[in-house]
């Protein structure tokens, strides 16, 4: 009998706690969204970027791993994934020789995206101490 009398009280406490936690999470999320906009990049793309960065900056160690992870996070704060992906594609494909590469080298949109990515990457390297 004692257990059945406590059940409504326990249920009320648990439900109240869950509701309070949900409200706090919602408020924290909305506050975080206004402070910093984070774009959702696929995990695979983040990992590939970090691995390329680590290889470029001297190999795998904790400092490079942390700095390169930080760098992609900073880039994600500034560029949507679509902008990032397009800028990387234009940057990589501009090396295609002849007329085939002209579509990636010559358009103003391609130049603007590449410049934007270069600027954001430079700021991210500074902020994350990538060496």
| Beta-carbon count within 10 A of 13 CB | 10
**Predicted confidence pLDDT, tens digits, the chain (131 residues):** 454 554 443 444 344 434 444 444 444 455 545 555 668 999 999 999 999 999 999 999 999 999 999 999 999 999 999 999 999 999 999 889 988 888 888 899 989 999 999 999 999 999 999 87
Contacts with 120 (C-beta within 8 Å, 6 or more apart), sequence order: 74, 75, 78, 79
| Residue matched to tokens 């130049």 | 111
Q: What sections of 36-107 are H helices per DSSP?
A: 43-56, 62-78, 81-93, 98-105
Q: Are residues 117 and 66 in the same domain?
A: yes
Q: Are residues 30 and 49 in the same domain?
A: no
Contact predicate 42/88, CB 8 Å? no
pTM across the whole model: 0.68
Residue 77 lies in domain: 43-128
The domain total for the chain is 2
Q: Are residues 14 and 47 in the same domain?
A: no
Token pair, residue 76, equals: 């994600």
């Amino acid at each position: 009998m004692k257990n059945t009398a406590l059940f409504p009280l326990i249920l009320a406490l648990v439900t109240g706690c869950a509701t309070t936690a949900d409200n706090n999470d919602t408020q924290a999320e909305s506050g975080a969204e206004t402070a910093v906009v984070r774009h959702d990049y696929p995990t695979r793309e983040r990992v590939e970027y970090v691995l390329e960065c680590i290889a470029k900056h001297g190999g795998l160690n904790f400092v490079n791993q942390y700095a390169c992870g930080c760098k992609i996070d900073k880039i994600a704060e500034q560029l949507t994934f679509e902008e990032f992906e397009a800028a990387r594609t234009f940057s990589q494909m501009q090396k295609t020789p002849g007329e085939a590469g002209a579509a990636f080298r010559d358009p103003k949109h391609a130049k603007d995206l590449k410049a934007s990515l270069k600027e954001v990457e430079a700021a991210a390297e500074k902020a994350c101490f990538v060496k």
